[in-house]
Structures are given as structure tokens and as C-alpha cells.
Structure 1
Amino acid sequence: MTPGRVTMYTCGPTVYRYAHIGNLRTYLMADWIRRILTADGNEVYHIKNITDVGHMRQELVEAGGDKMIMAALEEGKTIQEIGEFYADCFWRDETHLNILPAHVFPWASQHIPEMLEMVGTLMEKGSAYEAGGNIYFDVNSYAEYGRLSNNFGGDLLEGVRAEADPLKRDPRDFTLWKAAEPGRDVKWDSPWGEGFPGWHIECSAMAHKYLGERFDIHTGGVDNVFPHHEDEIAQSEGAFGNRHVNYWIHGQHLLADGAKMAKSAGNVFLIEDLATRGFNPLAFDTCV
């Protein structure tokens, strides 16, 4: 690594709805880390992705759900319009919180070639396999799988990945590229047929493009530890053969009324909600 220069990647928003203050607290954490490093005399190069594709979990595929497509249908807009609208809202919220803008905000949908290249590399190295038009990462090809989350072998947390996929060689294997189901509009050509990327490959591909095979800091929410970041480590190190990230830093869940803030729990607050109640958005910076 280069002395005095810090490379940093933050898992950014999935732009199909507003970011609530629990989401934004994680981005505040990354901003504080960046500011402290800068104040200490370092040059920080910060990447924060925008997820508008690649977020699909297998169980959502099986249930016929796609966050971006469902949001577009519900609001009567195109997927591009949905993504641009909620990305603008996210950037507005970050501005209200005085969060420094990332140097690059790469959009997942604009980096499909990089994802396909990485999947191809994993196939060539024997770390991935094709089954039914899908490409899966072979977890058994990576001996250190589980080191970030401390989930190993048969001890993998039940219910975290609810994939019932008979095409897999091992239930722990995860999807790198998913074959497009009949009637799907959002799809891309690939060497394995039309399809779309899995949830995890996007960050590995974009981090590699902008930060190289190894970088200093990767931040995200604690809910990203497993399986997202665990799988990201496996596929990146499987592709490049060396350590992927020096330091992983995760923000804990924000509690509201004693429970994790989540849309499903009905305890979500937006920055606009705080302003409506008479709070300056910057006051949120000082209380988290």
C-alpha cells in the first residue's frame, strides 16, 4: 500500500426507496473515518457504489421479486427513473448531514462488463461452475470461507441464506450470474446466456476497477457481514489470489423503540421526518 494514501470502499444504497436514518448512520460512520484519516494527514480516495442491479438474493428470484422492478411497477416509472430519483434523494440526504461526497459513485448497471470479466476469471481458475445457465462460486475452492463472520462449515447461521437450489453442488455456494427467467426485461448477454449478476459480484468488480486487487478499508452495515462481505472476500481473493481488504469496519443497527430500525418493523424515520419535527438534520450527526 502507499504510505499517506488510504483507499476506501463503502457499500452504498440500493436505490429503490428512501434511505432511513439507520442507513444513513452507517454512511456517517464512513464519513467520520474518512475525516479522521484526512485530519491525520492522509489522502483518502473514497468509492461508494450505487446498487441498481445485482442485489438479487436467490429467495427473491424464486418468489418473483426484484426490488427495482417492483418499485418501478408500483410507482409507474422505468427502472432508470426509479434509480435516478432515489439516488438524488440519497445525495440530498448526505448533503443535509454534511457527509463528504465520495470521489466516485459507480452504478452497478454500468459495470456489467467488469462483473462478467471477474466471473470468467473465477471460471478459468476452477473457483466457479455452470449449472442450468447459472454460475455459482464453489465455496469449497476457498479454504478460508467464514473467517470474517466466523461462520464455518455446518455452523453457517440458519435462515441467513434461505436458498433451496438443487443446481448447487454445496448449499453454501452462491450465485455469481443468474440466468434470466422467461419474460424478464432487465437482463444482459453473457458467455453463458442472457442473465443478470448476483448480489455480491458487483462490489468486487467495482472495487477492483477503482481501487485495484487490494485496498485499505471496506465499510458497510453489520447486516452486510454475512453473506455479502463474506462472499465478496471469497470471490475477490479467489480471482486475484491475494488479500482483498486490510480492514473491514461495520456499523451496528440503529434501534428505534427498542427494535432494529426497519421498514418491516414500522419504526423507520427519514431525515425529512426529523426536520418536520423541528430538528436540524445536523443534530443527528451529534447523537449517533
Structure 2
Amino acid sequence: MAEFEAFDLLPAQIAVLDREGGIAFTNHAWDQTAEGRLPDRRWNYLEECAAAADRGCAEARAIGTGLGLVLARELDRFVATYNCPFDDRHHWFQISARPGRATDDEIGAIVMHTDVTALQYDHLTGLANRALFEAQSEFVLDVARRAGSSVGIALIDLDGFKGINDEFGHAVGDEVLVRLAQRLLSATSDKDLVARVGGDEFAIVTCAGATEVGLAGLLRNVENAFKEPFVVKGAHRYLSASVGAALFPADGKTHEDLLKTADSRMYGMKRATGGRHEKWLA
């Protein structure tokens, strides 16, 4: 379909559907993320939504219903947001669909998918935010359950950070948080997710396959991230943190259970030591 080749220049994933919901054209961005499912574009969007809905995906059911209305020319535009994990990461996408021209009986709809995961990152540090941390945690837990493997979660609460804000101001405090974020990223692997989940609170979720030894090593790396002082307006200031961790499935079967265990250990450490990470094993 030569009239749609200009879509290849766009970063969004675009598909042109026939009146029955079958794929008639996809642009390069769509093809790059389709994981080889569309070699001949013999794929029906409505059928895929129905199959996902049968597997219990409420988002797919709503998208299929909305897209069906667009194809029937009963809705001028349909927009929805859904989640889709790939490349070992959790992603959010927005789908936008519009009907084809009224004079064109062959084109049912033009569908565009845009990755909006960037909206789930903390604007100051560039780390994932709480929503993305929770979604990634649920994703890797699902992978671990099916594979019979483990996942680690760590919670980090800064000790004494308020003193930096009080002494030097919030602008300097923000700069320290940015530097700390970079240290935490350096302390973890590319497959781990580091998030800022509160003002001075951070969290880490590992990839599926984490071990007790691996999680203990991660905690040592986190502790090492606080050994060097932060230079603040020519002065050297040390930060410490209370850290608690939990390992699936030994410490909990759900995201909520793991958070509860890690949180309890983190505050137990805060009360007892005020600085170094607590031994996370029971």
C-alpha cells in the first residue's frame, strides 16, 4: 500500500486494518516490535484481543470493544492505555484508532501504538517511579513463578537527608539525590530496575533468577554506594541508608508480601543500626 509508506518515517507503531480487523499494512516501527508474528501480516487484531481477553486480560477486552466500534464506523476515535512487557521490562503503550475514509471500503481503521513508558520515570533522577517499580515487580514475579526461579526486592530509606536540605537548601538536596541515583544504577545490573519511590526513598527489583548470594552481593554494592562522601558546596557530607530486602518465594509469594517483609527489615535496621544494611536472611 504505497499510500501508507510515509508511516515508515514515524517512530510510533502503526497498522492499517481492513474492515474485519485484519492487518493490511504495518510500518517499520511496528515490524521491529512484532517479534516475528507478522511475516505475512496474516493477523487479525480483533481475534488477538479476544484471545487475550479469554486469558483474563480486561484491557484487551476493552480495546477489542473500542476497536470494533471504530471498524463499524460507530466511533470516530478510540484511545486507551495498556501495559505490555517485553525485553525483560514493563512498558506502557497508548493505542489510538480512527476509522478509514468513508469512501474507502477496504480500509477499516488506522491504529497507532505509542510507548508512553517514559511518563513513568522520576523527572528529577531519571529513575523509574513507584508505578513502574510495582509493574516491573509484578512482571518479573510472574516470570519467576512460571520458571520456578527467584526475584529479589530491596527498599532503601535515606538517613539524615533532611539535614542536607535544612543546611544547604532543596536545590542542593536535589543535586545529591541525582548523584545518588547514578551510584545506585552503577551498583546494579542492567537487568535490575532502580526506582525512586518517595522523596528520599528508593527501591530495587532484580530480574527473575536472582539468588540469595546474588541479592546479598547487591546489598553490599548498595552499601558501598554510600561509602564515598557527597561534595556539597565544597563540603564533604556523608549519607547513610537503612536497607531491607526480601527474596521470592522464600520471603513472600506476592509483591505485597515481599514489600511488607523488606519494609519490616528496613525499619528494624533503622532502629538498630541507623546506617548499614540489615542481614536480610531470616
Q: Which has the larger radius of gyration?
A: 2
Report the TM range for the smaller structure's normalisation. under 0.3
TM-score (structure 2 length as normaliser): 0.20
TM-score (structure 1 length as normaliser): 0.20
Greater RCO structure (CA 8 Å; 6+ sep): 1
Q: Which has the higher strand share?
A: 2
